[in-house]
C-alpha cells in the first residue's frame, strides 16, 4: 500500500481545514490535507455567504459577536478578492418588536460591532425595494463572502508553502499506537486506491462530521448538526446584506451574491449531516419571510434551494440548536481523553475560520514543542495582494475593451471559453460540479440550462474526457442541479425547468446517452 509521511495531517477541506493547512504550511510544517470530496463541498460551500459584522450575535451570543468583530477587518485586509463590500443593514419591520432595536444598539456597543443608525429615508434610498414601513435602520460592516475563492485561495497559498492537498480522499480509519494517533488510512474516492498517511499530529477539521472522525480515534465528540436551508432568487433584490433587527430566527437575512440574492435560513437539529431534506413548509416559510423585508419577494423567481449543516458543539444536550453558541471550540484530546497526537477544531463560522485555524495550529506547535508565530493576520491570500474587493461589474469591465474577442459560455456568470479552459487545466478535473465551484459555472438564473452542454462539449473537445465520461459528467451535473430545483417548481421557475427539459430531454435526449 502506498504511504506518505508528514508532520501535520488535516482532515476536512472546508474553510476550517483550508485555514489550518495554510496556517500550518506558512509556519513551516510539512502538512497534508485530506478531503473526501472537492474542497468546500461540505457546509462551507453550502452556507449563506455572509461575512458577519457581528451584529447578528450582538445580543444573543456576545462571544461570537466579538470573534466576528475581530476577524471581519482581518479578512477584509487579507482576503479582499473573496469579499464584495456590500455593507449591511439591520432594519426594524412592523413584525419586529420595536424594543429590540435599543437592545441591539447596546449589544453592538458592548461587543464592539461598528454601528451607525441611519434615517429610514436614507435606508430606503439605498434599498428601494425594502418594505417602506420599516421604523429604524442601522448600518453595519456586513459583506458577502465567496467560499470557493476563500478555500481555494488558502489551498493555493498552502501549496506554495509545500503542503499537499488531497481532494477526493476519504479517511477510513485513524491509526493508533497505544494512546497516540499516528496517522490515517485514506481511500482515493476516484480510483479506490488506499493510502496510509503517517503524521505526528492529526487535526480533525471535519465540521459536522467531526464526531465521526473523533470516533475513529476512540474519542467521543458530540456534534449537533443544525440544518439550515437557503433559497437563491434570480435577481439582486437588494444590494446590501439586509437583516431583520430582532432575535435571530428563520428567514431573516437576505444576502446579495453576484447576480442573485439569497434568503435564509432555518436552524433544525438533524441526526445525519449527509441527510438534509428540504420540506415544502420550509420553502414557503422562507418566501413568506422574504415578503416581510421586500414586498413582492414571492414574485421573483426562486432559482434553487439547498441546505447545509452547522457544526455545532455543545458540552450539554440541547433541543434548540439556535441556543448553541457560534464560537469555536478546540478539543485537545491528550488533555481531554488521554489520546496524544490528535486535536479537534469545531463550531465557529466561516467568518472566523482564520481564528479557528490559528488556535488549532497554536495547539499543534505546543504538541510538537516548537514556537512559530502565526502569519495569517497580515499575509494576503493569492489574488488579494492588491487589497481590492471583488466588484460585481469586474467581469464585464474585463471584457469591455474587446467585447467579441472570446466566446461566452455561461452568460449568467460571464464565463468565457478561455476562462473555462484555464480552469479545466488548473483543476485537472473532469467533474463539471468541481468546475461549478471554481467558476460559479451554472449558478446564475438559468442554473446550467444554457451553459452546461457547452461546457461538456469543451471538456470533451479538450480531450480530457472520452464520450462516455463526458456524458456521465453532464448527467451527474444535471442530477445535482435538479435536487435543488424540484422543491421550488412553480411559476417562472417551472417554465424555466420545462425549457431545460426540452433542451436536455427533447433536443439532446440525455437519458439515452451512452455512459
Residues that bind ligand FAD (CB under 6 A): 11-17, 34-37, 41-44, 47-50, 52, 170-171, 205-209, 228, 230, 264-265, 308-311, 348-351
CA dist 462 to 82, 434, 459, 467, 514, Å?
Answer: 29, 17, 5, 12, 19
Closest CB to ligand FAD among residues 157, 265: 265
Closest CB to ligand FAD among residues 245, 345: 345
Classify residue 496 as left (phi > 0), alpha (psi -120 to 50) or beta: alpha
Closest CB to ligand FAD among residues 166, 474: 166
Q: Which three cell numbers stand for residue 415?
A: 464565463
In the complex, least distance from residue 74 CB atom to ligand FAD, rounded to whole angstroms: 13
Closest CB to ligand FAD among residues 197, 409: 197
Closest CB to ligand FAD among residues 185, 513: 185
Strands 3-11 and 31-34: parallel
Enumerate the H helices of 45-131 as residue ranges: 62-78, 100-111, 120-126
Nearest to 81 by CA among 166, 162, 154: 154
In the complex, least distance from residue 307 CB atom to ligand FAD, rounded to whole angstroms: 7
Q: Please give the sequence-ordered ranges of beta strands (E in DSSP) within 20-147, or none if there are none.
A: 31-34, 50-51, 83-84, 88-92, 116-118, 136-140, 143-145
Nearest to 445 by CA among 393, 408, 495, 483: 495
Nearest to 204 by CA among 166, 174, 226: 174
Q: How far apart, in whole angstroms, are the C-alpha atoms of residue 328 and residue 405?
A: 48
Closest CB to ligand FAD among residues 117, 164: 164
In the complex, least distance from residue 231 CB atom to ligand FAD, rounded to whole angstroms: 11
What would you measure as the largest C-alpha separation in the chain, in angstroms? Answer: 68
Contact 261, 255 (CB under 8 A): yes
Q: In terms of C-beta density within 10 A (0-12 exposed, 13-18 middle, 19 or more buried), how is residue 191 classed? A: exposed
Q: Which residue is nearest to ligand FAD (CB)?
A: 14
Residue 276, strand partner residues: none
In the complex, least distance from residue 249 CB atom to ligand FAD, rounded to whole angstroms: 13
Residue 317, strand partner residues: none
Find the length of the chain. Answer: 515
In the complex, least distance from residue 70 CB atom to ligand FAD, rounded to whole angstroms: 13
In the complex, least distance from residue 370 CB atom to ligand FAD, rounded to whole angstroms: 25
Closest CB to ligand FAD among residues 242, 458: 242
In the complex, least distance from residue 132 CB atom to ligand FAD, rounded to whole angstroms: 27
Residues 6+ apart with CB under 8 A from 425: none
Strands 88-92 and 136-140: antiparallel
In the complex, least distance from residue 458 CB atom to ligand FAD, rounded to whole angstroms: 27
In the complex, least distance from residue 398 CB atom to ligand FAD, rounded to whole angstroms: 27
Closest CB to ligand FAD among residues 206, 334: 206
Closest CB to ligand FAD among residues 47, 450: 47
Closest CB to ligand FAD among residues 205, 420: 205
| Count of CB atoms situated within 10 Å of the CB of 177 | 10
In the complex, least distance from residue 347 CB atom to ligand FAD, rounded to whole angstroms: 7
Amino acid at each position: 500500500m502506498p504511504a506518505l509521511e508528514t508532520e501535520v495531517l488535516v482532515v476536512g477541506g472546508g474553510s476550517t481545514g483550508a485555514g489550518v493547512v495554510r496556517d500550518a504550511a506558512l509556519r513551516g510544517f510539512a502538512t497534508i490535507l485530506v478531503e473526501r470530496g472537492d474542497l468546500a463541498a461540505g457546509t462551507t460551500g453550502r452556507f449563506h455567504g455572509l461575512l458577519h459584522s457581528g451584529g447578528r450575535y450582538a445580543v444573543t451570543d456576545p462571544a461570537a459577536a466579538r470573534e466576528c468583530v475581530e476577524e471581519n477587518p482581518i479578512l477584509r485586509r487579507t482576503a479582499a478578492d473573496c469579499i464584495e463590500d456590500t455593507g449591511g443593514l439591520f432594519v426594524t419591520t412592523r413584525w419586529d418588536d420595536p424594543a429590540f432595536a435599543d437592545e441591539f444598539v447596546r449589544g453592538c456597543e458592548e461587543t464592539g460591532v461598528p454601528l451607525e443608525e441611519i434615517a429610514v429615508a436614507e435606508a430606503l434610498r439605498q434599498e428601494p425595494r425594502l418594505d417602506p414601513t420599516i421604523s429604524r435602520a442601522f448600518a453595519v460592516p456586513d459583506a458577502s463572502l465567496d467560499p470557493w475563492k476563500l478555500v481555494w485561495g488558502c489551498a493555493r497559498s498552502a501549496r506554495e508553502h509545500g503542503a499537499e492537498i488531497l481532494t477526493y480522499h476519504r479517511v477510513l480509519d485513524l491509526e493508533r499506537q497505544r494512546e497516540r494517533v499516528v496517522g490515517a488510512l485514506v481511500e482515493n474516492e476516484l480510483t479506490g486506491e488506499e493510502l496510509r498517511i503517517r503524521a505526528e499530529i492529526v487535526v480533525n477539521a471535519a465540521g459536522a462530521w467531526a464526531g465521526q472522525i473523533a470516533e475513529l480515534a476512540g474519542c467521543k465528540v458530540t456534534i449537533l448538526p443544525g440544518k439550515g436551508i437557503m433559497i437563491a432568487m434570480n435577481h439582486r433584490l437588494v444590494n446590501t446584506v439586509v437583516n431583520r433587527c430582532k432575535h435571530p430566527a428563520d428567514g431573516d437575512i437576505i444576502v446579495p451574491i453576484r447576480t442573485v440574492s439569497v434568503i435564509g435560513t432555518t436552524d433544525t437539529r438533524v441526526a445525519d449531516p449527509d441527510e438534509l431534506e428540504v420540506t415544502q413548509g420550509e420553502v414557503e416559510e422562507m418566501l413568506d419571510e422574504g415578503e416581510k423585508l421586500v414586498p413582492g419577494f414571492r414574485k421573483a423567481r426562486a432559482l434553487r434551494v439547498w441546505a447545509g449543516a452547522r457544526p455545532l458543539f455543545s458540552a450539554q444536550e440541547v433541543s434548540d440548536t439556535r441556543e448553541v453558541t457560534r464560537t469555536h471550540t478546540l478539543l485537545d484530546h491528550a488533555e481531554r481523553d488521554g489520546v496524544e497526537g490528535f486535536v479537534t477544531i469545531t463550531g465557529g463560522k466561516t467568518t472566523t475560520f482564520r481564528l479557528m485555524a490559528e488556535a488549532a495550529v497554536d495547539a499543534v506547535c505546543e504538541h510538537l514543542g516548537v514556537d512559530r508565530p502565526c502569519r495569517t493576520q497580515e499575509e494576503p491570500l493569492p489574488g488579494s495582494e492588491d487589497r481590492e474587493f471583488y466588484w460585481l461589474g469586474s467581469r464585464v469591465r474585463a471584457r469591455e475593451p474587446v467585447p467579441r474577442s472570446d466566446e461566452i459560455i455561461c452568460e449568467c456568470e460571464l464565463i468565457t471559453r478561455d476562462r473555462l479552459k484555464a480552469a479545466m487545466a488548473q483543476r485537472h478535473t473532469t467533474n463539471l460540479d468541481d468546475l461549478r465551484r471554481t467558476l460559479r459555472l451554472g449558478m446564475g438564473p438559468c442554473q446550467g440550462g444554457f451553459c452546461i452542454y457547452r461546457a461538456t462539449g469543451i471538456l470533451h473537445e479538450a480531450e480530457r474526457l472520452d464520450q462516455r465520461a463526458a456524458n456521465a459528467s453532464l448527467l451527474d451535473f444535471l442530477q445535482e442541479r435538479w435536487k435543488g430545483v424540484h422543491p421550488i417548481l412553480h411559476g417562472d421557475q417551472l417554465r424555466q425547468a420545462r425549457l431545460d427539459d426540452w433542451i436536455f430531454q427533447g433536443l439532446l435526449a440525455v437519458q439515452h446517452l451512452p455512459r
